[in-house]
Structures are given as C-alpha cells and as structure tokens.
Structure 1
Amino acid sequence: MKISAIKYEARQSLKGEWGKVVGLTFLYFILSTVINFSVEVYASGGILNWFNQDYTPPLASILNAIISIILIPLTIAISWFYLDIVREKSPEIPQVFTIYTDARLALKSIGTTIMIGIFTFLWSLLLLIPGIIKGLAYSQTFMILKDHPELSIFEAITESRRRMVGYKWKFFLLNLSFIGWGFLCLLSLGIGFLWLTPYIYTSNATFYHKLIAEKKTL
C-alpha cells in the first residue's frame, strides 16, 4: 500500500470527525499546558516568584517529570482513539480518560513506554541510526497491545519488532511526508497543528490497520 493511499484513507476516515479530533487535540494541549504551568508556579512559591525567576526550580523539573509519566496512559489512549476512528467505531472524547479506570492497563502502558525508551536509548549509544531503526521497529507496540492486551510488555515489543520487518522504511517516510505541513503550521503560530496532529495520528493508525494488524501473532 502506497503512502499516498494511506494518507487518503486517513482523510476519508476523518470526514465528519474533524470537530471531534480538533477538540481532542486542543483539550490535550490545554490540559498539559495548564498542569505544567501550575506545577511551575507552585514550585516557585507563587505567581510573582515564577514571573521574576531566572531559572526553573529543581522541584518543578521533578514534578513535571512525574506529571509526564502520569500523562503517558492518556497519550496512548489518544492513539487508540484514532485507531477506533479508522475502524469506524465512532469514539467519543471522554473514552480516552477511561484508561485510568484500569490501573493494570495504565501501569502497563507506563512500563511499556519506559522499556521502549530504555531499549531505544541503549541502541542509540552505538550510533544514532541504530537507535532510529529500533524506534521504528518498536513503533507499533501500543497498537498491538490494544488488539492483544493479553501480551506482556516484552511480548508486545517483540511482536512489534517482528511485524515491522519490511515496513520500517515506509513508516519512516510516512511520518517524514508531514514535515512540509509542519513548517506551514509554524507559520500559522502553531494553530495549524490542531488539524495536522489528528491527520498524523490517523495516518499512523491507518498504517497499522492496513499493513500490520492482520499479521499473525506468534
């Protein structure tokens, strides 16, 4: 399946869903921004101290790191939201937050993210290129976990690596093809990302649905 066909399928899936996905992107941006701002103000000892400070307090960095970990399940649930759009399941925005109602799944998503980060970092110590290649190989781990929640963290990572054989370059080029749109979004003061982000998410979900999902699990 050509990259142009993947992106076309993504645009077709987004028909009638743009209001919803733009709203979700905006909601996530506001949520993360407000949380990070509130943490920095709190760690600085108040809004006046925050405004006058010359550097970010260590406590703010620590708290922001913790918040980033807490938000991991939400970012994964958002990617699953777009897979449901591709599969015509008409998801609603509130469902992305339900991942926190399943403590085991939320912790599993955090653990998986950490392990992928460690593996990618270790490969990057050899050279940058091996790290990028491994990052591409692990890219489908969370989609596979959505379809096969019974898999362990390491089984899902291994399965992603196996299924991505022969597809890593296509996935890389698919995401690279959005770089021009990214520059245009910067010219729009970032507003364009409200539309570009859902387009990228949906294209990646289409890639998984059309090319990766049907491969048999070992």
Structure 2
Amino acid sequence: MIQTWNERAHAAVKGKTGTLIIWSFVCSIVLEVGLMMDPYYFGFEYDSLALTLISLAGLILYAGLLPVIIGYNWLMLETVRGKSSSLRDVFTPFRHRYGKHLLAGLLVMFFQVLWSLLLLVPGIVKYFSYAFTFFILRDEPDLSITEAITKSRMLMRGRKWEAFKLILSFIPLFLVGLTFFISIESVILGSLIYLVAIAFIRPFIVSRFAVMYEDTRREYDEQWNRSA
C-alpha cells in the first residue's frame, strides 16, 4: 500500500513539481512575514516596550496568516484528484470562513506543540493523528473544527505507522533544515535554510497524505454504509 500511495502521489504531481514547490515557497514566505517583524530576528534584544510590542504584533500576524497552510493542503488535495489549480486557491481559506480556518490552524498547531512539550514521541503521534484535519474541513465545511480533528484521529487510527513510512524519505531533509536553524548563530540564515527545506518537502508530504486520505476516507464511507 505504501508503494502504491507513493506512486499515485508521484503521478499526481508529475509535470507540476516545480510549480508546486514555488507555491510552497510562497506559503512559507507569507508566514515568515510575521516572524520577520520580531526584533530578535535581526539580532536585537527585547530592551524596550516598543520592541516587545513589535514582536507581539509579528506573532499575531504570523498566527493570522496560518490559513495559508490550509489553503495549500486544499490545493494539493485538488491536485491529487486530478483537478486544475492555481496559486490563488492557496488563499481560499482567507476568503471563505476565515475565522473558522484561522482557529483550525491555531488549534491544530496548539495541540501538536502541547503534546510535543510533554514528550517527543506523543508529539509525533499527534502530528499524524491530525494530518487529515484540513482535508476534512475542505470536504465537510459544515463540520466544527473539533469534529474535523476527531474524524482525522478516527481515520488515522491504526494507520499512523503507515503514515510515518509514507513520508520517511523526507524526514532527513527536514532534520537538516532544523539542525541549521538551531545551530547557526545568524537567525536570518538559519531561518532561510529551514524555510527552504520545509518549502521543498511540503508538496511531496502533503500529496502523499492526500492520497492516503482519499483511500482511507473511501474505506470509512464504505464501512459506514455497510453498517447503516
């Protein structure tokens, strides 16, 4: 199954890889705008109220731009389904139910960070548990955020190891970017390298999760219909 999902994801992005990576860079840069407002980003210390307020404003802006990641997930889901898409589709969550999509991005990030702070392994497990949340919000917009998260956890039940193996080949590049981000003294350079790593692997990871979601959702619907 893992090989089949990989092959289908590869076929879905074939001929579009360069464009999808560029759009992924756009998403990363959009999010980086908020973080670049942080004075620490440029080597300043929080030695005044003004700098602290600027840093807080940047954090708020970053949070406010989180729906761009939801938009990219939707774009990749449409790509996997063989539909045409454009960069403007990335910003769909801003145009429709922005408040809901903002809260969805914040909640998923909060839960992932919270579990990661408790222990690394539970944090990784929850990353996979919530991987289908944004796809579900695309297909079932009337579901609440918590219902979408719960459904993602349900669809991923017993499949987290498969999900891990599905993206295993991209983890080393992520770790390289993270290592540079942590170890390089220059915050700007470290952030740039990390941004490049994330932007490069995002279309490949999201497309694989989208293919996995399609099959998992189909199995779930068939089982539900049989039960009914």
TM over 0.5: yes
User: Aligned partner of 2:164: which letter?
Assistant: F
Sort the Cα spacing of 1:33 and 1:118 in 2 relative to 1 into closer, same or farther, 3 A. Answer: closer
Query: What is the SS of the residue equivalent to 2:142?
Result: coil
Confirm or deny: 8 A CA contact 1:123 1:131 kept in the other structure.
Answer: yes
Name the residue aligned to 1:204.
Answer: 209
Sort the Cα spacing of 1:60 and 1:7 in 2 relative to 1 into closer, same or farther, 3 A. Answer: farther
Confirm or deny: 8 A CA contact 2:115 2:122 kept in the other structure.
Answer: yes
Q: How many residues are aligned here?
A: 206
- Measured against aligned partners, the alpha-carbon deviations of 1:142-182 in whole angstroms (never above 9, x if no partner) come to 11111111111121111111111111111122223312444
Name the CA distance, whole Å, in 2 between partners of 1:179 and 1:90.
29
* Structure 1 unaligned regions, length at least 5: 45-49
Confirm or deny: 8 A CA contact 2:115 2:123 kept in the other structure.
Answer: yes
Name the residue aligned to 1:30.
Answer: 29
User: Aligned partner of 1:208: which letter?
Assistant: Y
Sort the Cα spacing of 1:130 and 1:184 in 2 relative to 1 into closer, same or farther, 3 A. Answer: closer
* Structure 2 unaligned regions, length at least 5: 181-192
Give the C-alpha shift of residue 74 in structure 1: 0.9
Confirm or deny: 8 A CA contact 1:120 1:131 kept in the other structure.
Answer: yes
Confirm or deny: 8 A CA contact 1:164 1:212 kept in the other structure.
Answer: no
Query: What is the SS of the residue equivalent to 2:158?
Result: coil
Confirm or deny: 8 A CA contact 1:20 1:93 kept in the other structure.
Answer: no
Name the CA distance, whole Å, in 1 between partners of 2:199 and 2:66.
20
Name the residue aligned to 1:92.
Answer: 86
Name the residue aligned to 1:113.
Answer: 105
**What is the aligned-residue identity percentage?**
33
Q: Output aligned runs, 1:66-215, within 5 Å.
A: 66-102=60-96, 105-120=97-112, 123=115, 127-182=119-174, 195-215=200-220
Give the C-alpha shift of residue 30 in structure 1: 3.4
Name the CA distance, whole Å, in 2 between partners of 1:138 and 1:162.
10
- Which is worse superposed, 72-81 or 173-182? 173-182
Sort the Cα spacing of 1:213 and 1:184 in 2 relative to 1 into closer, same or farther, 3 A. Answer: farther
Name the residue aligned to 1:18.
Answer: 17
Name the residue aligned to 1:5.
Answer: 4
Give the C-alpha shift of residue 133 in structure 1: 2.5
Aligned-residue RMSD, C-alpha: 3.2
Name the CA distance, whole Å, in 2 between partners of 1:120 and 1:51.
28
User: Aligned partner of 1:20: which letter?
Assistant: T
Confirm or deny: 8 A CA contact 1:144 1:213 kept in the other structure.
Answer: no
Name the residue aligned to 2:44.
Answer: 53
Confirm or deny: 8 A CA contact 1:140 1:208 kept in the other structure.
Answer: yes
- Which is worse superposed, 153-162 or 121-130? 121-130
